[in-house]
Amino acid sequence: MDNDAYSLKLKPLKAHMTEDIFGKLAHSKFRSRFHLNANDKAYVTQKGLDVICAHAADFIAKRLAPAVIPNDGKQTPMHGHPVFIAQHACACCCRGCLNKWHHIETGRALTDAEQAYIVDILMAWIQKEMKTQY
């Protein structure tokens, strides 16, 4: 997906949609343990949300969108970038999790609309985390 075209593909998720998704994820002990630490938040502040969004779109296009991912289930690190943390928190880390939590089937390439949906979820989570103190 072209990063410049990202914002043209879909409007951001409506608040009720993110509340529904985040509400379901909050019931998962594994998913709910992920949070941005001080270094992650500083990185987001330094780079800005537009750059982080471009990173998210790039990571999704390269690591999650292909029909066949040789290391599926292991392609997303558990730390090292705020988007990686968001991917685990939002169950957008591998195709298996996308299928289980978001009902996006495996075995085919993600559409531009699906990629935009994932980026929207990740960015909504990151923005929520930026307002939270731990």
This prediction has a pTM of 0.84
Q: Please report, for the chain, the start and end positions of each structural domain, with discontinuous segments joined by +.
A: 13-130
pLDDT of residue 122: 97
| Secondary element (H or E) of residue 130 | helix 112-130
Does 9 score more than 50 pLDDT? no
Q: What is the pLDDT of residues 14-58, one digit of tens each?
A: 555 667 888 889 889 999 999 999 999 999 999 999 999 999 999
Tokens of 117: 């949906």
